[in-house]
A and B are shown apart, each in its own frame.
Chain A
Amino acid sequence: MYHAIKERVTELLSTGEVKGFLALKKDNGHIKPHLYVSPDEIDQLSIGDGETAGDARYPLTKILTMLLQNHSGEPFGILARGCDQRALRALAAWNQISLEQVVVIGVACSEELARACNCGLPYPDEWLEGEQIEPKDPRPVEWEAKSPLQRLDLWRAEFEKCIKCYGCRNICPMCFCKECSLESEDVVTKGEIPPDLPMFHLVRALHMIGRCVDCGLCEEACPASIPLRALYKKVNDIVETRFQFRAGIEQTEQSPLHKIAEPPAAI
């Protein structure tokens, strides 16, 4: 399976065009993120064909950012789905990586994965394997129909489940800050669970403005099943309406937060 991708990665590594290629590997019965440095182990390359759709995705772009920052100047390759490509663009727009150093091999997601992720764009610009699955309208969010007070109650009930594992931040490709507000004692009280309501989650939501590429890894990593994507989506819907901007869609466009501009017209 996936001969075209394996052949291309073999070529990239044999010619030295890339120092390493980030993808997934089937190993010990598990699927894991892996940096291929030689074509010898390419047979174990996996697209993530595990038992559930979630097995197919790891924060490869986050690992790439770390590698590029520790080994600057060296070219790397990466296997990218639609979400990964959006993350790569957004990371470049935020000056975290240089795309000149990155060779992207695209893969379009299977229908099963695209539906499981409720993905709005389950393919990159170009792909070597997979087929173009057209996104369906996103599943309706149950809160939308409720009154603001009912919504507040529902969100508080969700936030109260938080065990403050920081998994949403740790897994997020766009959480690249050296210092994190969620660790600042001015914002978040140390040693308390659940974290300050609703400050903890709203601070993170605000920081997702112009950054979140809606990959959904945060929600998959959340032990309390808090619907984080709905929250970040809502924040970025406002950004899109006001500034016509979605992170990671245009090649190098910077987020509205980068620009000094006239304030938007009153809502």
Chain B
Amino acid sequence: MDYKTVLTTCAYCGCGCGLYLEVLDGQAIGTIPSKTNPINEGKLCVKGWNIHEFVQHPKRLTKPLIRKNGTLTESSWDEALDYTASRLKEIKEAHGSDSIAFLASAKVTNEENYIIMKFARAAVGTNNVDHCARL
């Protein structure tokens, strides 16, 4: 029997609510809002209250998918990156930089979001950058 409460930050939007994931025998089973966090003071929205559900969800992607003949197919990282790079180049050459947009994520780190922003502006040449918390 192993029960832990693990302090973390909600990944659903930019607010940054503090919460504890309840972990029982290695499984994330619940969420408790942190009362001492100055952002949310013991409160959460409905998404935050259920954030433990996605952590170990069986439908979570673990490999890159490429749509082949209309079907999403698991692929290697090498294949996915090569395909993405070549298609981005083709699209940029054919339709211009602003025909491409980048959607970043609230579920990754600041640094990773910085990299995708830099890639969009410096490598592709577009300001079309947004993030999942506004979807």
Contacts and interface: CB of A to CB of B under 8 A. Distances in A.
B46 A164 contact: yes
Contacts of A194: none
Nearest to A27: B7
B45 A223 contact: yes
B24 A54 contact: no
A58 B35 contact: yes
B102 interface: no
Q: Which 3 A-B pairs have the closest CB atoms?
A: A223-B43, A30-B36, A35-B3
Given A33-B5, A33-B20, A63-B22, A54 B46 contact: no
Given A50-B35, A167-B33, A170-B49, A30 B43 contact: no
Contacts of A33: 5, 20, 32
B3 A30 contact: no
Interface residues of A, number: 35
B41 interface: yes
Nearest to B2: A37
Interface string A207-244: 00000000000001111000000000000000000000
Contacts of B75: none
14 contacts: A20-B1, A20-B3, A32-B34, A33-B20, A33-B32, A34-B5, A35-B4, A50-B36, A55-B36, A59-B32, A163-B45, A170-B31, A170-B49, A221-B44
A19 interface: yes
B18 A30 contact: yes
Contacts of A30: 7, 18, 34, 36-37
Contacts of A50: 35-36
Interface string B5-26: 1010000000000101010110
A102 to B, nearest CB: 15
A66 interface: yes
A31 B37 CA distance: 9
Nearest to B40: A223
A167 B35 contact: no
A166 interface: yes
A35 B22 CA distance: 11
A166 B35 CA distance: 17
B12 to A, nearest CB: 12
